[in-house]
Amino acid sequence: MKRLFLSIVIILVISTIIAGAFLGFKLFEGQPPQITPVKVPLIVGKEAEVSIKVTDAGAGIRLVEATIEQGKRQVQLGQKAVPIGSIWTGSPMKEIILSWQIDPRKAGLASGKALLIISACDASFRNGSKGNRSILKIPLNIDYVPPVITVLSTIHNVRVGGAGALSFRVNEKVTKAGVRVDNTFFKAFKGPDGIYRTLFAIPFNIDRPKTFQVEASDIAGNTGISGFAYKILPRRKREDKINISDSFLQKKMPSFASRFPEVAAPSLIETFLKVNHVLRKKNNDFLLSLCKKSQDKIAFAGAFVRFKGAKRSGFADKRHYFYHGKEVDQAYHMGVDIASVAHASIPAANNGRVIFAGYNGIYGNTVVLDHGMGLMSLYAHLSQIDVKPGQTIKKGQRLGMTGTTGLAGGDHLHFGMMLGGVFVNPVEWWDKRWIRDHIIYNLYFKGTNP
């Protein structure tokens, strides 16, 4: 009996020791939290975001704090405290991702070096119940100085609806550079010589831009701005009257309504109005979006080849549409219509790469060539397409044949030019002297390509 009692006592003592050791190990565990940067900008100018991940598989996370230290100045970004439910279970938070906004100017930080300090404590009873603590220090560079831009090209005479070219240097590494014309930004491309070059345009419907400047943004988000000498020339405005016949509507609208249900309407004229507005905008937006995919160097050489034939409509002509003697709509014609013989062979206007070849709504069968630096040429209403996307094309190479696809009323070629997301006047690009004096010279300071 005594032996049994003694055995029970020994078992209870051993169990108590084991339980105490386990609780002691759990409550007083010594592994500190792990801090991992998720998003930390090494250079900060304007407001920036800091993100970190804290993990603690043991006692769990109790407190996380973030501060910026610069000399004697300390700026607290914020802290996250986790309530401890029970001393036996520790913190329920085993992993957390936290983000803070850094506004260095508002915080009173000066340009120069600073230190981002992240500290994390767990729910352990070590260190007088303060827990295990980890500290991560990350060097930061506060930068308020914008890039310095030096414009190199000198003569920038640009016609409304036309294009221009500009070259410049920047004194530091930048994430974005180019020319801004009101809300349109024309990206510049950096050459192996360190010079930034850009083609830009003044949209046909902006007679006098409110903003016309060179911009460059650095890693810290500071934007340098520079003006440059320029002269804006007015464009000749022309208006056309177009009569919409019932035979035209009957010939064209059913196929549009079938192919594009969003333009279908109770009457043919109502369908036409939707085609002329809803579909036209959709098709134009698609074409202009292709400019973002342009190669970063010039592929064209010299003047663009003009398709042989009679000019029927000009660039940015304002069209007034009449139906049964009443004006029903208006639209701008963003290209040049040239009529030749039916199913005439269409040559590539210049060297380039096929970036689109297919059907595009009101433009019908369409080919778009990329000539580099955001410049593209457009060939529409084709009856036949003879090239494929990705194909490299030489000036004069056959692209297809003219036709009446899309919204064309008769066999012709709709030829257009696009630059950086804006339609521009094709006529300029047919002029060898204009390209030499206004484009090549401003980009390379001489009359020929490098």
54/63 Cα distance (integer angstroms): 10
Please classify residue 234 by burial: count the beta carbons closer than 10 Å to its beta carbon, then call 0-12 exposed, 13-18 middle and 19+ buried: exposed
Residue 389 shares a structural domain with residue 405: yes
User: What are 374-430's pLDDT values in tens digits?
Assistant: 999 999 999 999 999 999 999 999 999 999 999 999 999 999 999 999 999 999 999
| 40 found inside a domain | yes
Exposure of 69 in the CB half-sphere (CA atoms within 13 A): 13
In this structure, the dihedral spanned by the alpha carbons of residues 336, 299, 293 and 422, taken in order and rounded to 10 degrees, is -30
- Token look-up 């500071």 returns 222
- Alpha carbons 216 and 172: distance in angstroms, whole number: 10
Question: Binning pLDDT at 50, 70 and 90, where does residue 448 land?
Answer: very low
341 and 248 in one domain?
yes
Instruction: Tell whether 433 is covered by a domain.
Output: no
Instruction: Verify that 70 and 216 share a domain, yes or no.
Output: no
Residues 6+ apart with CB under 8 A from 285: none
Q: 163, 156, 234: which is closest to 201 by C-alpha?
A: 163
Question: For residues 196 and 151, what is the distance between their CA atoms, to the nearest angstrom?
Answer: 9
* Integer Cα distance of 40 and 52 in angstroms: 8
Give the list of residues 6+ apart from residue 204 with CB closer than 8 angstroms, or none. Answer: 160, 161, 235, 315, 316, 332, 334, 423, 425
Check whether residue 203 and residue 249 sit in a common domain: no
Say yes or no: 100 and 202 in one domain.
no
Q: Is residue 72 part of a domain?
A: yes
Amino acid 322 reads F
How many folded domains does the chain comprise?
3
- Domain of 175? 149-233
> Is pLDDT at 119 greater than 80 in this prediction?
yes
Residue 355 pLDDT exceeds 90: yes
How far apart CA 332 and CA 240 sit, in angstroms, is 10
Domain final residue pick, 203, 233, 263:
233
Would you say residue 432 lies in a domain? no
Inform me whether the pLDDT recorded for 25 exceeds 50.
no
Cα 42 to Cα 4, 12, 45, 206, 370: the distances in Å are 70, 59, 10, 41, 37
Residue 404's CB is within 10 A of a number of other CB atoms, namely 18
Which sign does the torsion angle of CA 350, 205, 244, 310 carry? negative
- Which among 233, 257, 281 is the end of a domain? 233
Residue entry with tokens 């939707």? 274
Q: What is the pTM of this model?
A: 0.83
Average of per-residue pLDDT values in the chain: 91
Are 186 and 296 in a shared domain?
no
Q: What is the 3-state secondary structure (H, E, C) of 294-338?
A: CCCCCCCCCCCCCCCCEEEECCCEEEEEEECCEEEEEEEECCEEE
Q: What tens digit of pLDDT does each residue of 207-218 get? A: 999 999 999 999
The terminus-to-terminus CA distance of the chain in angstroms comes to: 107
- 200 & 257 share domain: no
CB atoms within 10 A of CB 393: 22
Whether residues 156 and 43 fall in one domain: no
pLDDT in tens, 279-326: 999 999 999 999 999 999 999 999 999 999 999 899 999 999 999 999
Written as one letter, the residue type at 419 is L
Let me know whether 216 and 138 are in one domain: no
Q: Which residues contact 225 (CB under 8 A, 6 or more apart)?
A: 146, 149, 213, 214, 215
